[in-house]
Amino acid sequence: MKRFGWLALLCVACATDEPITGAVGVFYGGQVQELEQLTPDPVRAPSFGVRVDFPPWARGREHEVRWEVVRPGPAGRRVTEVGELRVAGDRAHLEQVLPIDLRETPGLVNVRVLVDGQIVIDRAVDVRKP
């Protein structure tokens, strides 16, 4: 019986090692298509955003999700947009569309997402002119 107790404890310890993960890119068919380069359609820009996956150990409590998007702006300046929300503990994942019209922002777009103060996503996407 002692072996079963240690085995159960080991399984719980291993399960908590699975990190909260995320992806940034274009929403396509219920998934996020991660790209290093993106050339948006000139007529209809794709939905661009992030997906955060919560492993089983992270469920059961509310999470604070914050994001920062740094993109090209007018006159060669960079524009920073931030947002945050609270995610209920029963959610296995979060999909959040970022309010960016990719047709109007060619250049390097940097996206950083934090969950409970920990960086989950820190990526750049090179957006090309259509």
Structural domains of the chain sorted by starting position, each given as residue range(s) with its CATH number in brackets: 19-127 (2.60.40.1930)
By the 10 Å C-beta count (0-12 exposed, 13-18 middle, 19+ buried), 36 is classed as exposed
pTM (2 d.p.):
0.81
Count of CB atoms situated within 10 Å of the CB of 16: 11
The whole-angstrom separation of Cα 22 and Cα 96 is 11
CB 58 within 8 A of CB 26: no
pLDDT of residue 106: 87
pLDDT digits (tens, 9 = 90+) for 23-80: 999 888 778 888 888 888 878 878 889 999 999 999 889 999 999 999 998 888 999 9
pLDDT band at 15 (very low <50, low <70, confident <90, very high): low
